């Protein structure tokens, strides 16, 4: 694989614009090569004798040796905020192709200054976060001591060694800079050159080195300050992460509480700080990788320059790069090692293997058996489908009144599986295109690394469900049409219920089978949706709620199961659910629930963020609730012109509001003054026509409700079939919406270079509150 493709593949998607523009520099070098070839000066690869000697020590110049051998001269300038900027002067501008080379070095300086500044800013943020974690660990260790010894007011000399052996962070002694990144339990301050870092002895294990570092820090701790005094200025952060904390927050002005010194409080604080350490470690590794990849890119592009120009400038320019902040990654490397030692000692009971497994989860591997089983189930699905069609046509089931009545009764029960399978297929297609266009969906959804499902695995689940549903339907059909199966009519009717119970049992099964992590994530997110607004709204919560709004017919199929089996209709071989008051009530309520959940989620965000945009979004869902209610009433009360007018008006208003929100807010399209007309500035898909087709389809498919009100006559299709088709079209529309919704969310993260989730810390200090007030 060429370096350009590998370089793009290794980019952090949200930081893509902060990487060196390798392809842009290559284009300039191609112009230089073409110019050289047109002037009959073919590019010559420099030999070993042609390599330039390193410049003398103490100079910022890019040249070395004699003046006539000097190609470039690199100067350093101080800009705003004492930031260093580099400017290269090309000394051979008068020669052939000199203007192109001047353009190359000007572009090279722009990219180098951009990358170096970005790296320096991110390193500064990492230092600040390390300082925060330092204070958080002070409070955690003190809380541990207090919980284990509730009647002890201070530390006695006999227990100090044991306590400090688990204490990971320490403050500097008097006169030290409090903004540094010293980690308690690790012996030395972080230096730019890394000279103060102790190297492990040859042959020593990583555990021995970590323990040696931790033990050596005991002697540097300031014993004058009692650790438990930290708790006097610490309060617990209440982030309203549970229904109880939300209810408490409604009746309290402050989101901070005093420490209660119980084990449950300690457990929650340890869990939140553990997650914060893992996220911080992930940031450090990506920052270190960012430095390494860009350094490789600068080295590669300078080698190409030497090849195309036959000049010696790579070594001198790379010396400047290596001496810059970007080239000196010792601070990040030291922080990585110290975070590892701290985490292993305090959050994995000194078990290095367990700690590193948490800090560095393995990337998920694609398994061949997934592809094999997907293909196998797909073949079985096609065979079962053909078998059903042939059996129905051979017995001419649809030409008989009894057969038609049977299909009207049994088909709505199996349509639930059709909706679920189609939604899974659309989700698998979305995952495929998210990966293809480098949309970081695991980060947006908050999946743990290595637990996200690939599109192959989602496709496997959908094909497996198809086999179960078609197999059950074929068995049901066989027992119904075969004379020997007449005695099993009651059992025959229970097949759809058995399939539904099997799917629900697998979905909510607590055992480690069939992607337990993903099933648990789905269950937890679904519970958050149902419990709205008692839980804070996250992206997975409102994304799932939006998916449920497109599964209205599937939710009503659940109501049909309740009526059909709960009221004993299956035993009488009748379908009179619409005459039951309970069924009609549930038929109303179940269709409104997803929109009501989204409405409550919007109200929650409005209260937290005080942004009127969430109020408008809530009104949009409220208008949809009104439209669904009026359409349902009209569907039940046939022939009522007044209800038809109300249904048309309410549905038209809801459709206009939803369409505008989909295209302008959720997708970010139709922006004014965009360089891509009627679209947005950034686009992940290179074909612009895709966006216009998606907008047109969204408008057309949004009008599917008109069939329910105006009742278009399609003689060749049964009413239940038409309803199923329109429900499937809505699921397809939601699949298109999902892809563009995540694309817009990803681009918003890219615009803010947001590659990490924000983790709420468990403690706050009184001095921090004073700073906020100031």
Is 529's pLDDT higher than 90? yes
Q: Which of 218-222, 435-439, 548-552, 653-657 has the lowest mean pLDDT?
A: 218-222
* pLDDT at res. 211: 41
* pLDDT at res. 524: 94
Confidence at 575, pLDDT banded by 50, 70, 90: low
More confident residue, 213 or 428: 428
More confident residue, 580 or 66: 580
Per-residue pLDDT averaged across 247-257, rounded?
58
Nearest Cα neighbor of 311 from 31, 50, 35, 30 is 50
Helix (H, G, I), strand (E, B) or coil at 236: strand
* pLDDT at res. 596: 95
Distance of CA 80 to the CA centre of its chain: 35
Per-residue pLDDT averaged across 644-655, rounded?
90
Confidence at 408, pLDDT banded by 50, 70, 90: confident
Percent of the chain with pLDDT over 70: 76
Is 178's pLDDT higher than 50? no
Give whichever of 29-33, 89-93, 660-664 has the largest mean pLDDT. Answer: 660-664
More confident residue, 125 or 226: 125
Is 222's pLDDT higher than 60? no
Q: Which of 128-132, 233-237, 441-445, 674-678 has the lowest mean pLDDT?
A: 233-237
Residue 1 CB-density burial (10 A; 0-12 exposed, 13-18 middle, 19+ buried): exposed
Confidence at 395, pLDDT banded by 50, 70, 90: confident
Expressed in angstroms, the distance from the first to the final Cα of the chain is 55
* pLDDT at res. 634: 83
Per-residue pLDDT averaged across 360-369, rounded?
82
* pLDDT at res. 572: 55
Q: Which of 87-91, 303-307, 326-330, 667-671 has the lowest mean pLDDT?
A: 87-91
Helix (H, G, I), strand (E, B) or coil at 660: helix
Is 582's pLDDT higher than 90? no
Residues 650 and 705: their CA atoms lie apart, in Å, by: 11
Cβ(200)–Cβ(211) below 8 Å: no
Residues 271 and 138: their CA atoms lie apart, in Å, by: 15
Helix (H, G, I), strand (E, B) or coil at 89: strand
* pLDDT at res. 631: 86
Residues 165 and 214: their CA atoms lie apart, in Å, by: 7
Confidence at 177, pLDDT banded by 50, 70, 90: very low
Per-residue pLDDT averaged across 382-401, rounded?
84
Per-residue pLDDT averaged across 92-101, rounded?
76
Is 626's pLDDT higher than 90? yes
Per-residue pLDDT averaged across 630-637, rounded?
82
Tokens of 50: 């042609």
Residues 690 and 467: their CA atoms lie apart, in Å, by: 33
C-alpha distance from residue 351 to each of 140, 207, 476, 620 (Å): 20, 8, 56, 52
* pLDDT at res. 316: 86
Give whichever of 88-92, 427-431, 442-446 has the largest mean pLDDT. Answer: 427-431
Q: Which of 223-227, 237-241, 455-459 has the lowest mean pLDDT?
A: 223-227
Q: Which of 63-67, 535-539, 612-616, 670-674 has the lowest mean pLDDT?
A: 63-67
- Radius of gyration of the chain measured on its C-alpha atoms: 33
Nearest Cα neighbor of 364 from 294, 261, 452 is 452
Nearest Cα neighbor of 347 from 281, 444, 439, 249 is 281
Alpha helices in 637-765 (DSSP H): 641-660, 689-702, 706-710, 719-751
Residues 68 and 91: their CA atoms lie apart, in Å, by: 9
Q: CB within 8 A of 539, min separation 6: which ones?
A: 444, 445, 446, 745
Nearest Cα neighbor of 70 from 312, 338, 246, 409 is 312
Residues 420 and 697: their CA atoms lie apart, in Å, by: 21
Per-residue pLDDT averaged across 199-204, rounded?
40
Per-residue pLDDT averaged across 228-234, rounded?
76
Question: Residue 582 is inside which H or E element, if any?
Answer: helix 581-609
* DSSP assignment string, 347-360: HSTT-HHHHHHHHS
Is 516's pLDDT higher than 60? yes
Per-residue pLDDT averaged across 710-735, rounded?
78
Per-residue pLDDT averaged across 504-512, rounded?
92
What is the residue extent of each domain of the chain? 368-656
Is 34's pLDDT higher than 60? yes
State the average pLDDT for the chain.
79
Strands 234-237 and 763-765: antiparallel
More confident residue, 650 or 569: 650
* DSSP assignment string, 404-425: HHHHHHHHHHHHHHHHHHHHHH
Neighbouring CB atoms inside 10 A of 271's CB total 12
More confident residue, 724 or 57: 724
Tokens of 439: 């949309």
Q: CB within 8 A of 543, min separation 6: which ones?
A: 445, 738, 741
Per-residue pLDDT averaged across 166-185, rounded?
39
Is 195's pLDDT higher than 60? no
Is 447's pLDDT higher than 50? yes
Q: Which of 125-139, 514-528, 651-665 has the lowest mean pLDDT?
A: 125-139
Question: 149-161, pLDDT tens digit by residue?
Answer: 776 654 443 333 3
Is 168's pLDDT higher than 60? no
Cβ(265)–Cβ(139) below 8 Å: no
Q: Which residue has the tokens 């300039």?
A: 28
Per-residue pLDDT averaged across 297-314, rounded?
88
Residues 588 and 629: their CA atoms lie apart, in Å, by: 7
Cβ(209)–Cβ(186) below 8 Å: no
* pLDDT at res. 721: 78
- pTM of this prediction? 0.82
Is 61's pLDDT higher than 60? no
Percent of the chain with pLDDT over 90: 36
Q: Which residue has the tokens 């990585």?
A: 336
Helix (H, G, I), strand (E, B) or coil at 397: helix
Per-residue pLDDT averaged across 224-244, rounded?
68
More confident residue, 670 or 61: 670
More confident residue, 262 or 502: 502
Residue 669 CB-density burial (10 A; 0-12 exposed, 13-18 middle, 19+ buried): buried
Q: Which residue has the tokens 């320059």?
A: 305
Give whichever of 41-45, 480-484, 504-508, 559-563 has the largest mean pLDDT. Answer: 504-508
Nearest Cα neighbor of 507 from 517, 497, 519, 496 is 519
């Amino acid at each position: 694989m060429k370096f350009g493709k590998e370089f793009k593949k290794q980019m952090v998607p949200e930081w893509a614009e902060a990487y060196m523009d390798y392809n842009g520099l290559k284009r300039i070098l191609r112009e230089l090569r073409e110019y050289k070839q047109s002037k009959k000066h073919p590019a010559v690869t420099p030999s070993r004798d042609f390599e330039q000697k390193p410049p003398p020590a103490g100079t910022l110049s890019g040249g070395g040796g004699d003046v006539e051998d000097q190609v470039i001269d690199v100067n350093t300038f101080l800009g705003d905020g004492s930031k260093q900027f580099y400017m290269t002067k090309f000394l051979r501008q008068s020669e052939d192709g000199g203007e192109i080379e001047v353009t190359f070095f000007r572009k090279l300086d722009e990219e180098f200054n951009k990358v170096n500044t970005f790296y320096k800013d991110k390193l500064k943020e990492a230092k600040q976060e390390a300082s925060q974690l330092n204070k958080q660990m002070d409070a955690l260790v003190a809380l541990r001591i207090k919980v284990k010894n509730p009647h002890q007011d201070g530390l006695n000399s006999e227990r100090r060694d044991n306590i400090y052996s688990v204490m990971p962070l320490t403050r500097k002694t008097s006169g030290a800079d409090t903004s540094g990144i010293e980690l308690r339990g690790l012996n030395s301050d972080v230096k730019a050159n890394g000279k103060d870092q102790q190297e492990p002895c040859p042959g020593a294990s990583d555990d021995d080195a970590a323990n040696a570092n931790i033990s050596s820090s005991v002697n540097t701790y300031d014993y004058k300050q009692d650790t438990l005094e930290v708790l006097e200025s610490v309060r617990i952060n209440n982030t309203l992460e549970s229904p109880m904390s939300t209810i408490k927050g409604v009746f309290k002005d402050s989101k901070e509480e005093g420490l209660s010194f119980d084990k449950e409080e300690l457990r929650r604080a340890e869990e939140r700080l553990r997650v914060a350490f893992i996220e911080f470690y992930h940031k450090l590794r990506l920052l270190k990788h960012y430095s390494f990849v860009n350094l490789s890119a600068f080295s590669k592009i300078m080698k190409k320059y030497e090849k195309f120009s036959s000049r010696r400038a790579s070594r001198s320019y790379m010396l400047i790069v290596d001496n810059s902040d970007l080239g000196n990654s010792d601070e990040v490397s030291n922080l990585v090692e110290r975070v590892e030692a701290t985490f292993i000692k305090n959050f994995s009971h000194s078990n290095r293997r367990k700690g590193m497994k948490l800090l560095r989860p393995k990337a998920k591997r694609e398994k061949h058996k997934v592809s094999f089983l997907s293909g196998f189930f797909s073949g079985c699905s096609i065979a079962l489908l053909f078998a059903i069609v042939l059996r129905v046509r051979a017995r001419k089931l649809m030409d008989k009144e009894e057969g038609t009545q049977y299909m009207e009764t049994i088909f709505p029960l199996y349509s639930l599986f059709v909706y679920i399978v189609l939604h899974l297929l659309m989700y698998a297609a979305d995952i495929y295109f998210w990966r293809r266009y480098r949309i970081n969906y695991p980060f947006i959804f908050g999946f743990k690394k290595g637990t996200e499902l690939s599109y192959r695995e989602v496709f496997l689940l959908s094909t497996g469900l198809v086999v179960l549903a078609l197999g059950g339907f074929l068995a049901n059909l066989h027992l119904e049409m075969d004379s020997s199966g007449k005695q099993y009519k009651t059992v025959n009717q229970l097949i759809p219920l058995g399939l539904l119970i099997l799917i629900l049992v697998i979905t909510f099964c607590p055992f480690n089978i069939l992607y337990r992590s993903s099933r648990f994530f789905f269950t937890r997110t679904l519970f958050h949706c149902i419990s709205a607004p008692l839980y804070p709204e996250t992206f997975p919560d409102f994304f799932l709620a939006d998916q449920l709004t497109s599964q209205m017919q599937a939710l009503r199929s659940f109501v049909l199961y309740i009526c059909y089996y709960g009221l004993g209709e299956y035993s009488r071989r009748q379908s009179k659910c619409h005459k039951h008051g309970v069924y009609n009530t549930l038929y109303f309520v179940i269709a409104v629930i997803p929109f009501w959940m989204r409405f409550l989620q919007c109200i929650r965000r409005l209260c937290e963020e005080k942004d009127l945009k969430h109020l408008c979004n809530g009104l949009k869902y409220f208008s949809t609730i009104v439209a669904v209610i009026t359409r349902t009433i009209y569907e039940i009360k046939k022939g009522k012109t007044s209800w038809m007018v109300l249904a048309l008006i309410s549905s038209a208003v809801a459709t206009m509001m939803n369409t505008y929100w989909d295209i302008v807010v959720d997708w970010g399209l139709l922006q004014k003054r965009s360089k891509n007309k009627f679209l947005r500035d950034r686009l992940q898909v290179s074909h612009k026509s895709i966006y216009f087709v998606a907008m047109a389809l969204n408008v057309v498919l949004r009008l599917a409700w008109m069939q329910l009100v105006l009742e278009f006559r399609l003689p060749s299709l049964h009413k239940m079939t038409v309803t199923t088709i329109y429900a499937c079209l809505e699921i397809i529309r939601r699949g298109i919406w999902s892809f563009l919704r995540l694309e817009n969310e990803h681009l918003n993260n890219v615009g803010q270079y947001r590659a990490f989730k924000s983790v709420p810390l468990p403690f706050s200090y009184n001095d921090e509150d004073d700073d906020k007030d100031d």
